[in-house]
Amino acid sequence: MDEDAFLNRCKQLAGDTSDTRWTDDHLAGFFQNFRPHGKALEPFFQEIPVGTEVYDRLKNVYLATATGYQRGPRTDAYFIVRKPATIGNDTLIQCATQQLANWRAMAEHDNESELVDLLTPLPRIRISTDEPPEVDPNDYSLDIYIYDVQTDWWHGHLSSVCPHARWLREAFYYLNCDYYLARYVMWPWYRDSSSIDDPYKPYFTMWLHGADLHCKSPDDVTLYVKP
């Protein structure tokens, strides 16, 4: 199946009966058509190489956001965990520490020695129950540096086992306008091209439990948790 045929298949699944020819831009919000549980997507992913593994991860996103999902005129535009399951802060700190270690490993693979140095030793993480601050893209914080390096690592070192990963990337990004979440779900397609084991899994665990990691500098790393 080529890209045009695949996009037409997506169009049919989404219930679009217009004459519009779909491009990858039409996949923004594609997964929102199958809320709250996404069950109709299972046969779709079974047709794609390694798709069952990807669907299992995507299904967990649906399950985590089904409770409290808003319908009608106030329908959730994105996948939001409104009622996160309880988990201990010690476990969340372990996840945050492992995620920092994974980002450092990406920097090592990408020969970004400055970021490796900033994350060595791994920063101490404090817990806060305050509302997390907005990230300013114009403020070149450690968060932004990490984001830039892991993006370069993803595009420069990884390859997928099938073209569907590229065709569907807009759909995965628009789960929550979150590349870290998208890359966790898509990881089975890229796994064979990396020596780092499931590098976004700790991030997903934090997301699942309503925790938000912010890295302003190596001396200012905060994990915001639900009170």
Per-domain boundaries in the chain: 88-158+194-227
Q: Are 172 and 141 in contact (CB under 8 A)?
A: no
Rounded Cα–Cα distance for residues 172 and 170 (Å): 5
Token couple for 84 = 């996160």
pLDDT of residue 227: 83
Write the pLDDT tens digit of every residue in 31-70. Answer: 999 999 999 999 999 999 999 999 999 999 999 999 877 6
pLDDT of residue 74: 67
Helix residue ranges, H only, the chain: 3-13, 42-46, 51-66, 89-109, 113-118, 142-157, 164-167, 169-173, 179-190, 201-208
pTM value is 0.95
What value does the mean pLDDT of the chain take? Answer: 95
Q: Are 141 and 216 in contact (CB under 8 A)?
A: yes
Write the pLDDT tens digit of every residue in 126-156. Answer: 999 999 988 777 788 999 999 999 999 999 9
